[in-house]
Structure 1
Amino acid sequence: MLLMEGQKIVRIIISKLFGTDNIDINFEGYVKILISENGTGKTTILNVVYYTLTNNFEKLLEINFESVEIQFASGKKIKINRQNDVFKYYNDYARFKNELKMNDLSFGQFLKRIQSSYYIKDVKGMNKSRKKVGLNINNEYADNFESYRKNLDTELTDIEILYFPTFRRIEEDLNKLGVSNRQIDDGTLIKFGMADVENRIEAFRKSISDSTLALFSEVNGVMLTQLVDGINVTESMRESIKNIDALQVVLDRTGKFLPSGYKYNIQHLMNSGELYRNPKYDTLVFFLSNLIKLYDQQREKDNAIKKFVEVCNCYLEISGKRFEYDESSVKITIKQDKHSEPIELRSLSSGEKQIVSLFARLYLNFEEKKFLIIFDEPELSLSVEWQKRLLPDILDSQKCIFMFAVTHSPFIFDNELDKFARGLDQYVTYVNEENGQNG
């Protein structure tokens, strides 16, 4: 099988899902889109994969299946079976944790009960509230668990797993936590998502502003050294400051450290060309060329913001809205039209919020991470045109190295990803059928 660049997972096997279904999915590339109607178990398949990749054994215990195996392009694999040591330990741990919550046990009673387990060796510690208990498991089982985690960590180094469940699924989880439907309909969840976007935007703005001032101080230090040793202006320095737009941004970002009168004079010298011709401005040329280096050091963050704005506007402009990025002030605003006052993120529609939140997560992050994305029904709240472009736009970000999505909308793959779409039923066999029985 020819592997596409960046592919991580090549096969997923889930045995006896719901006690009846065997799932065996091969990945021919780094994208797989499964098509199926509601009620066929596609969300449960995603949950099994996600919980396995994130070591969430407690959630896996809630799902009816016998085993799950994930094979990686490297040739390594991880497998969890309900009968193996790791799962048995977590099953015991979850049971004892529930008993601790439900029963008013003394420490001595709890100690006797928990040490009767074959898998648990001793209690490491317990705080007064008994909400947290440290447990040691026998070395044999600890080694198995560590081997599993080591393989997983090796395969997912510098990779972040993003799971986008359906709003319906989030609603169910909130109900389990005691959050009412009225609260959900109020938009509590979506407001939280927009708060995350606002925090990411502010973090980028502050990072650029702070580094500008820090580097400005550094440039001043270099200037003092050069004034003592003698300034040597090269032709490349003169060329570097001929990008007037970039220089304007850098000057604006220096804020109060460079008075507006000096900025005006520098702009006049640039526009007239005198700055580049007259040797008496060599000191200024040296200073400005170092400021341009400062701008270049921030270019990656600037480009991330620009790309985020550009992609989001492809969706927002349909309703007359758009993001605007002012490089000089490092400020992002949303406007209904070019002449209106800025509007707030929370005033966007649910579909617009979904888009903005998703691309903020991809573009507005400081770490050089790639993403493994699991997507449940990405079509929800999106227009037909948005459905057609969403997944290709995610892949065009160059941030996603692997995508596993399930859908019942044909428009999600009405694009260049059509070749990666398959019906879920072709990967499902029934237990009775495999045993040669009629089922």
Structure 2
Amino acid sequence: MRIKQISVSGLFGIFDHVIPLNMDERITIIHGPNGFGKTAILRIINSFFNSRNAELKTIPFKTFRFEFDNNASLEIKNTENAEESKKNNIVFNFYQPDLEQDYFPLKPMKIISDIDIRIGTLDKIIPGLERISPQKWLYDPTGETLSLEQVLERFDNVLPSSFKLKKEPEWLEKLKNNIHIRLIESQRLLNFVPNRSRWSAETPSMLSTVSAYSDELAKLMQDKFKEYGTISQSLDRTFPVRVVKQQSSVDLTDEQLRDQLNELEANRSRLIEVGLLDKDEDSEFQIQPQDIDESTKNALSVYVEDVEKKLSVFAEIASKIELLRKIINNKFAYSYKEINFSKEKGFVFTTLYKSSLSNSKTLSPADLSSGEQHELVLLYELLFKVQPNSLVLIDEPELSLHVGWQVQFLKDLQDITQLADLNILMATHSPDIIQDRWDLTVELKGPQK
């Protein structure tokens, strides 16, 4: 299920926009003057699908509509009620062909006594949160002032169950589960690290996002290596029996078998290059093609099948690491830096510049410039943090990119979209990002005078 068109009326009481999404190339770029609602549109999409209803209520609009590729549609109606001090009343209306309309009205949150008693502990549970009034908090990493409802929505995944808000109806929950939305935040250099246990005495912390993602990638690589080891043990245990039972490989020529062995060696070298295998890992890979004779052909054909199964564990993560390395090294070359990867450290940066006074040295991810960190975090999120077939919202990526990177951005994005199976909705002012792909753009216009 994919969103094929978005429309809004009465945005800021002024603008009506219709945005058809590019369903084929899967990248849609919206552009227009400041104040026409690019960021607001992305915020509404993210707020609805990620249940940030408090934020949704802060954006003035009359209706916002999603049309899906199965002919269903969802309309958000936003009306002011004079009897309730002009507070916005929001209703979700869901239309499906040949079915009755579903609807769900958002009502003001009523704080139950249990939450009311516990709200004083929120700034102890969530690092960077500072209480500035009975039901308002300052969130230091972004500088935002958040209401209680916004805090409960924003940090729902790390709060105890006693803080949970009203449950949504089943049809709305199902719809949101079918459409995955990821907003790439403009402030993305700090990462919230919750306690392993919600009741732990350990103090929660904020960590630089590049450091957190480096640790996360190391864990992903280690997990894949463990999975590889488990499969290897299972296959090795049954290898003799399967060789005995293997039928004669009359259709497999010596040349084909040599080609397969060469491909396995090339794949192994590739996995060593990206840090997923060690150089001395599995000496069994070192069988030479010239050693093949009729007596070993059956055994080698089973061996080839086994190794292909073992190495297939790494296929997806290896492709993502290779693309990340290619893009980053292309962009970071200007500052004489290179990225590599290891199962122990995740990101490994080294300087390329050498002189009589200095040799190449290893850098920590936090040693990168803020612009380099923004770029690395953005690319990592797209490749490793977003579910396949998600719609990713990117607001003004040019803010963290110099002109040379902007020129390359769309090409990099197309490569990532294809590999990670993503849809992109991006808002930008930069013609350097768009280049000659104005066919991917939708211009936001003001009302006719």
Question: Which amino acid letter does the alignment assign opposite residue 14 of structure 2?
Answer: D
Q: Describe the superposition over 1:268-297 as per-residue Cα deviations: whole angstroms up to 9, x where unpaired.
A: x62xx5422484687567546522442244
1:246 aligns with 2:267: yes
Give the drift of 1:412.
2.1
User: For 2:278 and 2:241, how far apart are their aligned partners in 1?
Assistant: 21
Give the drift of 1:79.
0.9
Preserved contact between residue 336 and residue 342 of structure 1 (Cα < 8 Å): yes
Counterpart position of 1:302:
318
Counterpart position of 2:185:
165
Preserved contact between residue 14 and residue 24 of structure 1 (Cα < 8 Å): yes
Moved more, 73-82 or 249-258: 249-258
Preserved contact between residue 240 and residue 292 of structure 1 (Cα < 8 Å): no
Give the drift of 1:55.
3.0
1:322 aligns with 2:338: yes
User: For 1:221 and 1:372, how far apart are their aligned partners in 2?
Assistant: 44
- C-alpha change, 1:68 and 1:247, in structure 2 (3 Å) is closer
State the percentage of identical aligned residues.
17
Question: Which amino acid letter does the alignment assign opposite residue 390 of structure 2?
Answer: F
Q: Describe the superposition over 1:373-419 as per-residue Cα deviations: whole angstroms up to 9, x where unpaired.
A: 21111101211011122233122221364322222333221x24323
Give the drift of 1:76.
1.8
Question: Which amino acid letter does the alignment assign opposite residue 316 of structure 2?
Answer: E
Counterpart position of 1:406:
427
User: For 1:81 and 1:130, how far apart are their aligned partners in 2?
Assistant: 30
Give the drift of 1:429.
2.8
Preserved contact between residue 8 and residue 61 of structure 2 (Cα < 8 Å): no
User: For 2:90 and 2:302, how far apart are their aligned partners in 1?
Assistant: 67
Give the drift of 1:337.
1.5
- Structure 2 unaligned runs (5+)? 80-88, 93-103, 120-159, 193-204, 354-358
Question: Which amino acid letter does the alignment assign opposite residue 163 of structure 2?
Answer: K
Which structure 2 residues correspond to residues 167-182 of structure 1 after superposition, within 5 A? 167=187
User: For 1:217 and 1:311, how far apart are their aligned partners in 2?
Assistant: 36
Counterpart position of 2:390:
371
Which structure 2 residues correspond to residues 110-121 of structure 1 after superposition, within 5 A? none
Preserved contact between residue 10 and residue 28 of structure 1 (Cα < 8 Å): yes
Preserved contact between residue 312 and residue 356 of structure 1 (Cα < 8 Å): yes
Counterpart position of 2:140:
none
User: For 1:133 and 1:275, how far apart are their aligned partners in 2?
Assistant: 65
Give the drift of 1:309.
1.2
Give the drift of 1:219.
2.4
Which structure 2 residues correspond to residues 51-70 of structure 1 after superposition, within 5 A? 51-70=47-66
User: For 2:281 and 2:44, how far apart are their aligned partners in 1?
Assistant: 55
Give the ranges of 4+ consecutive aligned residues of structure 1 lying more than 6 Å apart after TM superposition. Answer: 249-252, 254-257
User: For 1:257 and 1:323, how far apart are their aligned partners in 2?
Assistant: 22
Give the drift of 1:217.
0.8
Give the drift of 1:316.
1.5
Preserved contact between residue 228 and residue 313 of structure 2 (Cα < 8 Å): no
User: For 2:341 and 2:361, how far apart are their aligned partners in 1?
Assistant: 14
Preserved contact between residue 275 and residue 281 of structure 1 (Cα < 8 Å): no
Q: Say which structure, 1 or 2, has more relative contact order (CA 8 Å, 6+ apart).
A: 1
TM-score, length of structure 1 as denominator length: 0.67
Root-mean-square deviation (CA, aligned residues, Å) is 4.2
Give the drift of 1:332.
5.3
User: For 2:324 and 2:185, how far apart are their aligned partners in 1?
Assistant: 22
User: For 1:380 and 1:134, how far apart are their aligned partners in 2?
Assistant: 35
Q: What number of residue pairs does the alignment pair up?
A: 358
Q: Describe the superposition over 1:240-276 as per-residue Cα deviations: whole angstroms up to 9, x where unpaired.
A: 2133333567899489885xxx66xx74x62xx5422
Counterpart position of 1:390:
409
Counterpart position of 1:132:
163
Moved more, 375-384 or 6-15: 6-15
Which structure 2 residues correspond to residues 188-227 of structure 1 after superposition, within 5 A? 191-226=207-242
Counterpart position of 2:4:
9
- C-alpha change, 1:344 and 1:96, in structure 2 (3 Å) is same
Preserved contact between residue 241 and residue 292 of structure 1 (Cα < 8 Å): no
1:24 aligns with 2:17: yes
- C-alpha change, 1:135 and 1:147, in structure 2 (3 Å) is closer
Q: What SS does the aligned partner of 1:408 have? A: coil
- Structure 1 unaligned runs (5+)? 1-5, 105-128, 137-141, 175-187, 434-439
User: For 1:100 and 1:300, how far apart are their aligned partners in 2?
Assistant: 43
Question: Which amino acid letter does the alignment assign opposite residue 24 of structure 1?
Answer: H
User: For 1:372 and 1:417, how far apart are their aligned partners in 2?
Assistant: 20
- C-alpha change, 1:286 and 1:98, in structure 2 (3 Å) is same
Q: What SS does the aligned partner of 1:380 have? A: helix
Preserved contact between residue 31 and residue 420 of structure 1 (Cα < 8 Å): yes
Give the structure with the larger helix fraction. Answer: 1
User: For 2:246 and 2:36, how far apart are their aligned partners in 1?
Assistant: 76
- C-alpha change, 1:97 and 1:409, in structure 2 (3 Å) is farther
Q: What SS does the aligned partner of 2:398 have? A: coil
Give the drift of 1:210.
0.9
User: For 2:232 and 2:278, how far apart are their aligned partners in 1?
Assistant: 7
Which structure has the bigger radius of gyration?
Answer: 1
- C-alpha change, 1:333 and 1:59, in structure 2 (3 Å) is same
Preserved contact between residue 48 and residue 60 of structure 1 (Cα < 8 Å): yes
Moved more, 397-406 or 384-393: 397-406
1:44 aligns with 2:37: no
- C-alpha change, 1:410 and 1:99, in structure 2 (3 Å) is farther
Q: What SS does the aligned partner of 2:262 have? A: coil
Counterpart position of 1:276:
292
User: For 1:286 and 1:322, how far apart are their aligned partners in 2?
Assistant: 39
User: For 2:393 and 2:341, how far apart are their aligned partners in 1?
Assistant: 30
Q: What SS does the aligned partner of 2:310 have? A: helix
1:335 aligns with 2:350: yes
Q: What SS does the aligned partner of 1:312 have? A: helix
User: For 1:388 and 1:63, how far apart are their aligned partners in 2?
Assistant: 33
Q: What SS does the aligned partner of 1:62 have? A: coil
